A = this chain, B = another copy of it.
Amino acid sequence: MALEHAILVSLLERPASGYELARRFDRSIGRFWTATHQQIYRVLKRMEADGWVTAEEVGQDGRPDKRCWSAAPAGREALAGWLRAPVQPEAVRHELAVKIRGAAFADPAGRAALIAEVERYRADHRAVLASYLAGERRDFPDPADPDARAALQHVVLRGGIAYERMVLDWLDDVLTTLRDLDR
């Protein structure tokens, strides 16, 4: 249950409103930790009660007011303690792998539909890889990153890039295998 900690990291990188956090969880942080605005608002409320974050009301013109959240000292301590704790084993849920094994029990028409779906899925991942590479060129043009924060953000992004490349190669393998079944 690391949503609190993901929010703390994001707020330490830059204070934000719940809404802004939700958009970050659709983009940068969301690459490796997803969350909806509902979860974020609820957890922020709990974190405020625990003294992990503090809010500042910010009036804006032309827009609704917002509450800008920052990590409090107690939040920094909670994060430091969590960083020392062991990484929890991950709950893998790879729906496509289930479908591929299920294809053994489908007829040729069903397998053809799955091939089309795998192709669509592959196109999605190609687009994700392209956006990662564009983000890398934009945010990390210098190979030696100046500060710790950038170096760590960069290595996480390189992990995303490596993952997407691996997925694309594997999907080629999957497509070859599926096509060979009805050759």
Chain A interface (Cβ < 8 Å from any Cβ of B): 2, 5-6, 8-9, 12-13, 29-34, 76, 79-80, 82-84, 86-88, 90-107, 110, 113-114, 117, 120-121, 148-149, 151-156, 158-159, 162-163, 165-166, 169-170, 173-174, 177-178, 180-181
Copies in the complex: 2
CB contacts (< 8 Å) of A90 on chain B: these are 93-95
Q: Assuming A32-B97, A33-B98, A156-B97, is B180 touching A151 (CB within 8 A)? A: yes
In order of increasing CB-CB distance, the 6 nearest A-B pairs are A32-B94, A32-B97, A104-B149, A166-B166, A155-B177, A9-B102
A29-B98, A162-B170 known; 6 new pairs, CB 8 Å cut-off, are A8-B102, A32-B98, A33-B94, A83-B106, A104-B152, A155-B174
